[in-house]
Amino acid sequence: MIEIVTTGNLLDDDAQALVNPVNTIGVVGSKLTRRFKRRFPQMYSDYRSRARSGGIRIGEMLVWQDPSGAGPIIINFPIKQHWIRDSHLSYIQSGLDALTETVEALDIGSIAMPALGCGLGGLAWNDVLPQIERAFQGLPDVDVRVYHVRDHLQLMQESHW
Domain boundaries, the chain: 2-158
Confidence at residue 152, expressed as pLDDT on a 0 to 100 scale: 41
Which residue positions in the chain have pLDDT lower than 70?
A: 149-161
Let me know: does 62 contact 47? Beta carbons within 8 Å. Answer: yes
| Side-by-side strand order, sheet with 110-114 | 2-5, 143-147, 110-114, 17-23, 73-80, 62-64
Let me know: does 147 contact 116? Beta carbons within 8 Å. Answer: no
Note if the pTM is more than 0.85: yes
For helices 31-39 and 41-52, give the axis angle rounded to 10 degrees.
110
Confidence at residue 85, expressed as pLDDT on a 0 to 100 scale: 81
Let me know: does 24 contact 82? Beta carbons within 8 Å. Answer: yes
Instruction: Classify domain 2-158 at the CATH class level.
Output: alpha beta
Confidence at residue 155, expressed as pLDDT on a 0 to 100 scale: 44
In the residue annotation, 80 being an active-site residue is answered as yes
Q: What is the distance between the alpha carbons of residues 142 and 83, in angstroms, rounded to a whole number?
A: 30
The catalytically annotated residue of 40, 61, 79, 80 is 80
- Which residue(s) pair with 63 in the sheet? 75
DSSP for residue 26: -
Largest Cα span, the chain = 40
Q: What is the distance between the alpha carbons of residues 154 and 113, in angstroms, rounded to a whole number?
A: 19
Nearest to 73 by CA among 50, 45, 107: 107
